[in-house]
Amino acid sequence: MTDKPSTLPQDTNEQPEGQSAPQISMSINLQYVKDLSFEVPGGPMIFQQLQAENPSMNIEIDVTTAQLHPEQPVYEVSMTTKIMAKLPPVATADAPAAERPVFVGELVYCAVTTVTGAPENILEQILMIEVPRLIFPFVRNILCDVTRESGFPPVVLQPIDFVELWQRKRNSSFAQAAGHA
């Protein structure tokens, strides 16, 4: 079995005869943790409660991009991942039912990327789909390690469909723009 190499999206517009398609080049220059926080608001009592109950998990992922210099094709791609585990609400004689957070984590992981030769419509796809696909394994490993080192079973994120995430984000942007028109 062989691994299929990652391919960059290609512009489907046909080129006039004698002209070749633009050569697209992408490189990840740097990857880093921009922000990492992990809180256990109910510790150490929460560990006792976890012996009797399983928490529910909420995971949110967002990708944003920024051009670092207007004259250069260098971009920062940021993947923000928020994870929250909580136990179901329990009412007591002293207080109404309230959710019980087990842990709350947030990671902003970034890649500084250079992309040359890409038309604008392809550039957006590279920055919002391909770069996140490449950095996602690092995000998954960091969150897995942090939850495990904090005394919890490791949180292993399942693969993300970054095409769907990008399409939802675009549709949301179009809907907001139409609402302001």
pLDDT tens digits for the chain (181 residues)?
444 444 454 544 555 555 566 699 999 999 999 999 999 998 888 998 888 888 999 999 999 999 999 999 999 999 999 999 999 887 777 777 788 899 999 999 999 999 999 998 899 999 999 999 999 999 999 999 999 999 999 999 999 999 999 999 888 876 665 555 5
What is the pLDDT, as a whole number, of residue 3? 42
Which of 93, 90, 100, 87 lies closest to 56 in space, CA to CA? 87
What is the pLDDT, as a whole number, of residue 145? 98
What is the pLDDT, as a whole number, of residue 178? 55
What is the pLDDT, as a whole number, of residue 95? 73
Task: Please identify, in words, the CATH class of the domain defined by 25-90+97-176.
Answer: alpha beta
What is the pLDDT, as a whole number, of residue 94? 78
